[in-house]
C-alpha cells in the first residue's frame, strides 16, 4: 500500500489534495470569523435597542450583582467625588495601550458608584472631573477580579477595577458594580464632551455567541477537506487492490497450464493401455 502511495502520480495528486485542504481549512476559518462578527453585530444592535433605566430601579447598594444586568444601560444622577479617583494601567483601546480613569460618583441617594470616565494614554494631562451635579448614562458591569500582578504600582493606581479594594478606599454605601460612561450631561441637559485626553470606553458586550448559520458553513468546508483526503486514500487503495488482483491472476494462469498438461497426458496414457 505504501509503495502504491509513493507512485509519482499519487504523490502529485497528494500535493493537490494538500493545497485543497489548506484552502478549505482557511475558508472554514473565514466563515467562523464571519459567524463571530455577525453575532457580535447582532448583540450590539440588541444592546443599543435596550431602554435606559434608572439605576435605583434595578440595583441597590451592597446587593450582589445579578448577571443579567451586565451591559444594561442605566441613568444615574449625582456628582463626582473629584478627590476619589484611580488609574487602571495596561488597558487597550483601538490598538493603543493606556489607562482607565475610574472616578467615584456620589448618587443623589448618597451611595457611591465607580464610573469609568474614559481611557487615556497620558495620565499626567487628565481633565478634572466636573464638580457640578450631573446625569450619567452608561452600561453596568460587575467588578473585576483582583489583579495577580505582584509588581508595585504608583500611588493612585490599581491593577483592576476591584470593588473589594475600592469599597475600603471610598467610604459610603457602595454599589457592587461600576459604570462604563457613555454620556454625562448637566441638569439642564447640556452634554459634556469627554475632553481631548479622554476617550470613552464602550460597554463590553459580554460573551459573544456564534451565528450558527455561518458556523455551519465553516463546518461544511472542513468536512470537504476531510472528504478530499478520504477520496485520495480511496483511490490509492483501489489502485493497490487492482495491482494485487492482477498479480494473483498471473500466478493462477501458470498453475492452470501445468494442470492442463496433466489432463492432456491422461487420455494418451489410457490409449496406450
pLDDT for res 136: 95
pLDDT for res 270: 47
Are 169 and 236 within one domain? no
Are 145 and 219 within one domain? no
Last residue of a domain, one of 164, 192, 220: 192
- Grid cell, residue 100, equals 482607565
Grid cell 502520480 in the structure block, residue = 9
pLDDT for res 114: 96
- Asked if residue 37 is part of any domain, the answer here is no
Give the global pTM: 0.61
- Asked if residue 55 is part of any domain, the answer here is no
DSSP string, 16-36: HHHHHHHHHHHHHHHHHHHHH
- Asked if residue 109 is part of any domain, the answer here is yes
What is the helix (H) or strand (E) element at residue 264, kind and residue range? helix 212-272
pLDDT for res 264: 47
Of 36, 35, 28, give the one whose Cα is nearest residue 226: 28
Are 26 and 115 within one domain? no
pLDDT for res 254: 46
Are 101 and 129 within one domain? yes
**Rounded CA separation 78/128 (Å):** 16
pLDDT for res 191: 81
- Domain span including residue 221: 2-32+212-272
Last residue of a domain, one of 162, 192, 222: 192
Are 16 and 91 within one domain? no
- Asked if residue 13 is part of any domain, the answer here is yes
Are 106 and 156 within one domain? yes
**Rounded CA separation 82/239 (Å):** 81
Are 118 and 187 within one domain? yes
Are 223 and 166 within one domain? no
**Rounded CA separation 78/222 (Å):** 55
pLDDT for res 42: 67
Those residues whose C-beta lies under 8 Å from the C-beta of residue 97, and which sit 6 or more positions away, are: 90, 91, 121
pLDDT for res 126: 84
Residue 271: exposure state from Cβ atoms within 10 A (0-12, 13-18, ≥19): exposed
**Rounded CA separation 181/118 (Å):** 7
pLDDT for res 131: 87
- Asked if residue 46 is part of any domain, the answer here is no
pLDDT for res 222: 87
The crossing angle, in degrees rounded to 10, of helices 212-272 and 8-49 is: 160
b/e sequence 60-72, b meaning 16+ C-beta within 10 Å: ebeeebeeebbbb
pLDDT for res 242: 83
b/e sequence 180-205, b meaning 16+ C-beta within 10 Å: bbbebeeeeeeeeebeebbbbbebeb
Are 13 and 123 within one domain? no
Q: Which residue ranges in the chain fall short of pLDDT 70?
A: 39-49, 149-150, 205-212, 246-273
As for how many domains the chain has, the answer is 2
Are 24 and 119 within one domain? no
- Asked if residue 52 is part of any domain, the answer here is no
How many beta carbons lie within 10 A of that of residue 23, not counting itself?
14
Are 75 and 107 within one domain? yes
- Asked if residue 56 is part of any domain, the answer here is no
Last residue of a domain, one of 125, 160, 192: 192
Are 9 and 99 within one domain? no
- Asked if residue 239 is part of any domain, the answer here is yes
pLDDT for res 113: 96
pLDDT for res 137: 94
**Rounded CA separation 244/6 (Å):** 16
Amino acid at each position: 500500500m505504501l509503495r502504491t502511495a509513493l507512485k509519482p502520480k499519487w504523490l502529485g495528486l497528494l500535493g493537490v489534495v494538500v493545497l485543497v485542504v489548506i484552502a478549505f481549512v482557511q475558508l472554514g476559518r473565514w466563515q467562523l470569523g464571519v459567524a463571530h462578527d455577525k453575532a457580535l453585530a447582532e448583540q450590539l444592535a440588541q444592546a443599543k435597542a435596550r431602554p435606559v433605566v434608572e439605576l435605583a430601579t434595578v440595583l441597590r447598594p451592597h446587593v450582589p450583582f445579578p448577571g443579567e444586568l451586565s451591559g444594561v444601560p442605566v441613568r444615574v444622577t449625582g456628582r463626582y467625588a473629584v478627590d476619589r479617583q484611580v488609574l487602571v494601567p495596561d488597558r487597550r483601546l483601538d490598538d493603543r495601550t493606556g489607562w482607565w480613569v475610574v472616578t467615584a460618583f456620589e448618587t443623589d441617594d448618597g451611595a457611591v458608584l465607580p464610573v469609568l470616565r474614559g481611557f487615556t494614554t497620558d495620565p499626567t494631562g487628565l481633565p478634572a472631573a466636573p464638580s457640578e451635579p450631573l446625569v450619567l448614562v452608561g452600561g453596568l458591569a460587575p467588578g473585576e477580579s483582583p489583579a495577580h500582578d505582584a509588581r508595585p504600582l504608583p500611588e493612585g493606581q490599581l491593577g483592576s477595577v476591584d470593588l473589594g479594594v475600592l469599597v475600603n478606599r471610598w467610604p459610603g454605601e457602595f454599589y457592587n458594580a461600576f459604570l462604563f460612561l457613555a454620556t454625562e450631561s448637566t441638569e439642564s441637559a447640556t452634554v459634556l464632551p469627554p475632553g481631548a485626553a479622554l476617550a470613552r470606553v464602550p460597554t463590553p458586550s459580554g460573551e459573544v455567541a456564534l451565528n450558527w448559520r455561518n458556523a455551519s458553513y465553516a463546518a461544511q468546508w472542513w468536512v470537504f477537506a476531510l472528504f478530499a483526503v478520504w477520496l485520495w486514500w480511496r483511490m490509492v487503495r483501489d489502485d493497490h487492490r487492482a495491482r494485487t488482483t492482477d498479480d494473483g491472476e498471473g500466478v493462477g494462469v501458470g498453475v492452470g497450464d501445468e494442470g492442463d498438461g496433466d489432463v492432456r497426458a491422461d487420455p494418451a496414457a489410457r490409449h496406450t493401455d
